[in-house]
Amino acid sequence: MYSIVSTAIVRGIRSVLVQVEADVCDGLPVFEMVGILSAEVKESRERVKAAIRNSGIRLSPKKVTVNFYPADVRKTGTGFDLPVALAVLAAHGRIPGEILEGILFAGEIGLNGELRPTAGILPMVLAAREAGKHTVCVPRGNVREAEIAKGITILPGDSLNQVLAMVEEFHRNPEKFSGVRSMEEISEPPGETLWDFSALHGQKVLKRACEIAAAGRHNMLMTGPPGAGKTMAARAVSAILPSLLEEEGLELAKIYSVSGLFGQREGRFWTRHFRSPHHTVSIAGLAGGGTVPKPGELSLAHKGVLFLDELTEFRREVLEVLRQPLEEGVIRLVRQSGAYEFPADVMLIGAMNPCNCGYYPDRNKCRCSSAVLERHFGKLSRPFLDRMDLTVEVKRPELSEITGGQTEESSESVRMRVQEVQEIQRRRFGDSGILYNSRIPVSHMKEFCPLDTGGEKLLQESFDRMDLSVRGYYRTLRVARTIADMDHADTIGRLHIMESLLYRSMGWKVWERE
Amino acid sequence: MKTEAYHNRYEYWLAGLLCLPGKKKIRLREMAGGAEGLYRMKQASLRKLPGLTERERAKLEQGQSAPEEELEKMRTYCIRQDIRLILHQDSEYPARLEQIYNPPYGLYCRGTLPPESALAVAVVGARACSAYGRQVAEQVGYHLAGHGVSVVSGMAAGIDGAGQRGALQAGGKSYGVLGCGVDICYPAGNRQLYEALPAQGGLISEYPPGTRPLACFFPQRNRIISGLSDVVLVVEAREKSGALITGDFALEQGKEVYAVPGRVGDALSQGTNRLIGQGAGIFLSWEDFQKELGLFPNFLESSVKIKKLSLEKSERLVYSCLDLSPKNLDELMAETGYSLTELMENLESLREKGCILEVYRNCYIRRAECK
């Protein structure tokens, strides 16, 4: 007998539907699976055989052939156990084939027949909805993530036996299962973090830069002596970021689903992520990789903050990997198995010491020679520095500033302001697909960043004086746009440009002129 | 002046021997009746020479084993590279060096040597110096050279290079005494200076071309810096600093030593303050220094000063908060009470007027009065 079941595989953060066919006929009792299968899919056979037996179902010894199509796509992932088991049972005539129609099945099965959570469920559910399926059946552990995709019925599976019963019940009485919860029900608003903006004492310039960076999602680089509060400032930035927009949240949920890290986002769909990989991170760890690429830290920080502490300690080639994604907001990995695109629209915050000992330019403490300084700064390439929109020097605050009872502004009130500025941006960009000032394309510069005469003059003078690159020029303009937005100004004025230039990093050589 | 045509390959050989002090070389050369005689001297007679230690004799014998072609190669290399060799017995040899305790036997020189007729001042100091120190050195160098004084220094990073750079900016003469062969640019960061010096002064070394910069050469090189100059000015020096060695040599050689005073807690002023405590002259301002050196002010300076004073009230407030150690925006905001935008505007106009210097990103110092 023949049967067919729908399932899906994950490629990048998208999913492709795959059909599992089973044929049972007389012959030697062998179980064969074909259709370019990776190791974990081949192992599925052993799990399925044991799970069926341990669920109390005895199958007569017959020849079983399972085929996956399209046959030219490599099948990976552990979600095939459930569809294979159902296809085999249907081919044996244990369940009627028509009750499986229109449903997408995915999930890993244990030897006892229990369904276990699987990576990549969300993209599969979305693909199923697009392909016109009315229902999906996934392990109960994945239900919350599947619920993010609206407009499709979800059947939560606990074990093989329960799935069989449920599917039959669903076939008879589909209305019973149609309850769908809204996004508000499955997620809370972002809670308070441990890190509050009010923890930054004094340091007005730093705080101002943090606010600008958060408002326009610009990249930021902090230099300063050890223990001056760089890491704290980076955390504080993540505390003043407004919640994710719905489309941003969905995209991010897909990335976490594919990485099998969905648990980290459970109940916090609106929170922007703060990722801070250690400086020993590899290229694949940061950018994503593997024979079938999985998202790296860069994508896990999508729409959030990627914080690189001790920037000069990162391997140079690792940092250079960031260059293209920082411009485009996506990373494209090309492997033998095809090209994969992961969203990687991050706000990069870097922190580093200004020299080996950490005290330059305080020459009383710092004895680094100019050659040492040059080597230290040389660890960051000019193109990389060019992409840092705001560079700030953090100086150690005085003890009196920390202990003196001045109350600093809380995250809450700064976040309100940031939110307001972001709404101004969205109103301006309308439906052009741009969300933040840092993403204004060069082609729209004239339209979105009008300059008054004073501003234009200053920018042109500075272009030569500060030896800006063309990229540096446009990035200066984007930051100035955010500063103007914070001022509720339509055109960018001289002061906005001046402040923006204040934060622009030039080649370090300017400072130690020998 | 064509000294290179004058010396034969053996002279180059003798000058290039690193193991023998200058005085011994002079005596040996006399006893052997010329450098060639010393090169060809038999081992037996070598042993009879008085005043040579065992080690020095061994080195000399080792030196004798060099084939003649190699000697010639060095000579042609020097000529081709425009490096002149000035020996102790030459008329061009600086009279100032003849008087020091351990004069070098020969000097390799690209460019010229400091003229005997003009005053020569050494501007020396720390390599890892502050922006303030660099500024002082640069300006002293500038003024000295403007008065026709030769500025002698070690072309090192920091103060040394800054003083010489100032001298070149004024279009004057500066002389760099190196601790390596004059065909090697060390430190590499001073490439521009290295290339400019031969035309506007000279590069000088007692070490033959091709000698690598080894740490042990530098203290010895300092005796030539002080030896070639009449006055030594130490701008910034830590407790233990190579610049202090130059100061010691200068005192030994009977030269005048001046030091730029500094604040009590500053690591970079501890050495100079100590020098002053020990009786060195104090550098209070360029005008004072100039009087002490017996130089007369020139017209150029007085005209620059008048232009300075046209600052607006707010600019003056910001300017008065700045001093010679770097201050960042936060500190300036706290001191002036201005907002970031107000401060920015004032800093921008002060920068345009050339009154302040941004020594590091958003860290400013006041530009020293002169220049």
Which tens digit of pLDDT belongs to each residue from A323-377? 999 999 999 999 887 889 999 999 999 999 988 888 887 777 888 877 788 888 8
**Is it the case that residue A510 has pLDDT exceeding 50?**
no
Structure tokens at B276: 């002053």
Which tens digit of pLDDT belongs to each residue from A143-173? 888 888 888 889 999 999 999 999 999 998 8
Q: Measured between alpha carbons, how far is A8 from B27 in angstroms, rounded to an integer?
A: 95
**Is it the case that residue B268 has pLDDT exceeding 80?**
yes
**Is it the case that residue A204 has pLDDT exceeding 90?**
no
**Is it the case that residue B4 has pLDDT exceeding 50?**
no
Complete DSSP assignment for B27-47: HHHHHHTSHHHHHH--HHHHH
Mean of the per-residue pLDDT values of chain B: 87
Q: What angle (nearest 5°) sits at the alpha carbon of residue B114, between those of residues B112 and B116? A: 125
In the three-class reduction of DSSP (H, G, I as helix; E, B as strand; rest coil), residue B247 is classed as helix
Q: Measured between alpha carbons, how far is A297 from A278 in angstroms, rounded to an integer?
A: 10
pTM for the predicted model, two decimal places: 0.79
> What is the DSSP code (8-state) at residue A265?
T
Which one is predicted more confidently, A424 or A190?
A424
Which tens digit of pLDDT belongs to each residue from A31-70? 999 988 988 899 999 999 999 999 999 999 999 999 998 8
For chain B, what are the domain ranges? 3-80, 120-174+211-297, 303-366
Cα-to-chain-centroid distance, residue A91: 41
> What is the DSSP code (8-state) at residue B362?
T
> What is the average pLDDT across B111-129?
92
> What is the average pLDDT across B348-353?
85
**Is it the case that residue A291 has pLDDT exceeding 70?**
yes
> What is the average pLDDT across A403-428?
88
Cα-to-chain-centroid distance, residue B367: 24
Instruction: Quickly tell me which residue has 């003469």 as its tokens.
Output: B173
List the single best residue of A208, A353, A362, A363 to mutate versus B (max B Cβ within 10 A): A363
Which tens digit of pLDDT belongs to each residue from B206-256? 999 999 999 989 999 999 999 999 999 999 999 888 889 899 999 999 999
Which tens digit of pLDDT belongs to each residue from B49-97? 888 888 888 888 888 888 888 888 999 999 899 999 999 888 899 999 9
Q: Measured between alpha carbons, how far is A384 from B208 in angstroms, rounded to an integer?
A: 43
Helix axes B270-277, B242-252, angle to 10 degrees: 20
Tell me the CA distances in angstroms from B158 to B16, B190, B289, one per residue in order.
30, 10, 21
Minimum CA–CA partner of A361 in chain B: B360
Q: Measured between alpha carbons, how far is A465 from A455 in angstroms, rounded to an integer?
A: 15
Q: Verify whether the Cβ–Cβ distance B267 to A363 is below 8 Å.
A: yes
> What is the model's pLDDT at position B236?
93
Q: What angle (nearest 5°) sits at the alpha carbon of residue A172, between those of residues A167 and A178? A: 70
What's at A403, amino acid-wise? T
> What is the model's pLDDT at position A234?
92
Q: Of the candidates A204, A374, A391, which has its C-beta nearest B361's C-beta?
A: A391
B300/chain A closest Cα distance in angstroms: 26
Q: Verify whether the Cβ–Cβ distance B267 to A495 is below 8 Å.
A: no
**Is it the case that residue B288 has pLDDT exceeding 60?**
yes
In the three-class reduction of DSSP (H, G, I as helix; E, B as strand; rest coil), residue B176 is classed as strand
> What is the average pLDDT across B121-148?
91
Q: Of A486-490, B21-25, B163-167, which range is least confident?
A: B21-25
Q: Measured between alpha carbons, how far is B117 from A392 in angstroms, rounded to an integer?
A: 53
Q: Verify whether the Cβ–Cβ distance B344 to A502 is below 8 Å.
A: yes
> What is the model's pLDDT at position B298?
58
Cα-to-chain-centroid distance, residue B246: 10
- Helix/strand/coil percent split, chain A, to 5: 45, 20, 40
Structure tokens at B188: 């590499």
Q: Of the candidates A205, A361, A506, which has its C-beta nearest B340's C-beta?
A: A205
Q: Verify whether the Cβ–Cβ distance A369 to B326 is below 8 Å.
A: no
Architecture category of domain B303-366 in CATH: Orthogonal Bundle (1.10)
> What is the model's pLDDT at position A492?
94
> What is the model's pLDDT at position A511?
47
Q: Measured between alpha carbons, how far is A139 from A136 in angstroms, rounded to an integer?
A: 10
Q: What angle (nearest 5°) sits at the alpha carbon of residue A432, between those of residues A429 and A433? A: 100
Phi first, then psi: give them for residue A26, nearest 5 degrees: -70, 150
> What is the model's pLDDT at position B112?
93
Architecture category of domain B120-174+211-297 in CATH: 3-Layer(aba) Sandwich (3.40)
**Is it the case that residue B3 has pLDDT exceeding 60?**
no
> What is the DSSP code (8-state) at residue A380?
S
Is B120-174+211-297's fold the same as B303-366's?
no
**Which percentage of chain B shows pLDDT scores above 90?**
41
> What is the model's pLDDT at position A189?
61
Q: Verify whether the Cβ–Cβ distance B190 to A514 is below 8 Å.
A: yes
**Is it the case that residue B349 has pLDDT exceeding 60?**
yes
Minimum CA–CA partner of A494 in chain B: B345
Chain B hits for A369, Cβ within 8 Å? 127-128, 157
Number of residue pairs across A and B with CB atoms under 8 Å?
Answer: 87
Chain B hits for A505, Cβ within 8 Å? 361
Structure tokens at A191: 């809670």
**Which percentage of chain A shows pLDDT scores above 70?**
94
Cα-to-chain-centroid distance, residue B87: 21
**Is it the case that residue A27 has pLDDT exceeding 70?**
yes
> What is the DSSP code (8-state) at residue A354?
S
> What is the model's pLDDT at position B48?
82
Minimum CA–CA partner of A390 in chain B: B361
> What is the model's pLDDT at position B362?
80
Which one is predicted more confidently, A198 or A138?
A138
In the three-class reduction of DSSP (H, G, I as helix; E, B as strand; rest coil), residue B177 is classed as strand
Phi first, then psi: give them for residue B22, nearest 5 degrees: -55, -45
> What is the model's pLDDT at position A486?
95
> What is the model's pLDDT at position A187?
60
Which tens digit of pLDDT belongs to each residue from A451-463? 999 999 999 988 8
Which tens digit of pLDDT belongs to each residue from B290-303? 888 888 765 445 44
The number of helix segments (H) and strand segments (E) in chain A equals 22, 18
Instruction: Quickly tell me which residue has 């008087």 as its tokens.
Output: B99
Q: Of the candidates A370, A395, A499, which has its C-beta nearest B189's C-beta?
A: A370
Chain A hits for B190, Cβ within 8 Å? 514
Question: Which domains, ranges and CATH numbers included, belong to chain A?
Answer: 2-184 (3.30.230.10), 201-428 (3.40.50.300)
Q: Verify whether the Cβ–Cβ distance A370 to B127 is below 8 Å.
A: yes
CA atoms within 13 A on the CB side of B202: 19
Mean of the per-residue pLDDT values of chain A: 88
> What is the average pLDDT across B126-154?
91
**Is it the case that residue B352 has pLDDT exceeding 90?**
no
Q: Verify whether the Cβ–Cβ distance B131 to A361 is below 8 Å.
A: yes
Complete DSSP assignment for B260-290: ----TT-GGGHHHHHHHHTT-EE---HHHHH
Instruction: Check: CB of residue A269 under 8 Å from CB of residue A293.
Output: no
> What is the model's pLDDT at position A71?
84
